[in-house]
Amino acid sequence: MKQKYNQQVIAIIKEWITDNLEQRLSIDDIAKKSGYSKWYLQKLFARYYSETLARYIRRKKLTHCIADLKYSDTPIIRLALKYHFESQQSLTRSFKQTLGCTPLQCRRRRLSHEAEAHIRNSDDPCAICRRMEGKPGSPDEDPL
């Protein structure tokens, strides 16, 4: 019973994070919202989703930033501020470490508008670009 409750709380927190990506999100604030201690929340999150809460937040912010890069002309510095990165350099560093490209390289790989929903909901938002470029390890499906 408690396990199911914990899963529901974590799922609600996950949804809340997605709905509030443009806010400054701290683990402490999220823990308060959940009613769990910071330590316990992070432990539960990692157990149910096999990634840390901080990594999940960063990945979701980058995923939404990718969609903004591809479907708007918003300057990269404004996107860095929108998603609460410390600077444009910090956003670029996160892109390189997590996705293997810079925000500018990502922006230049424009895709159809039909791909936007897929990108925002994907665990691997760069899969479409890899498929377009025919890189190894990517599915052979046509891009959206």
Q: Are 106 and 74 in contact (CB under 8 A)?
A: no
Q: Are 74 and 35 in contact (CB under 8 A)?
A: no
The burial of 79, by beta-carbon neighbours within 10 Å (0-12 exposed, 13-18 middle, 19 or more buried), is given as buried
| 96 alpha-carbon distance from chain centroid | 14
User: Mean pLDDT, to the nearest integer, of 35-45?
Assistant: 95
> 1 versus 71: which is more confidently predicted?
71
Q: Are 80 and 100 in contact (CB under 8 A)?
A: no
Mean per-residue pLDDT over the chain, rounded: 83
- The pLDDT value recorded for residue 113 is 56
Q: Are 44 and 5 in contact (CB under 8 A)?
A: no
Q: Over the stretch 79-134, which tens digit does the pLDDT of each residue have? A: 999 999 999 999 999 999 888 889 998 888 766 555 555 666 666 666 666 665 66
- The pLDDT value recorded for residue 142 is 34
- The pLDDT value recorded for residue 44 is 93
- The pLDDT value recorded for residue 4 is 86
Q: Are 29 and 85 in contact (CB under 8 A)?
A: no
The structure tokens listed for 113 are: 């508008």
* pTM, 2 dp: 0.75
- The pLDDT value recorded for residue 43 is 95
User: Can you tell me the distance from the alpha carbon of 115 to that of 92, in angstroms, rounded to the nearest whole number?
Assistant: 23
Ordered structural domains, the chain, with CATH: 2-50 (1.10.10), 57-133 (1.10.10.60)
85 C-beta neighbours (distance < 10 Å), count: 21
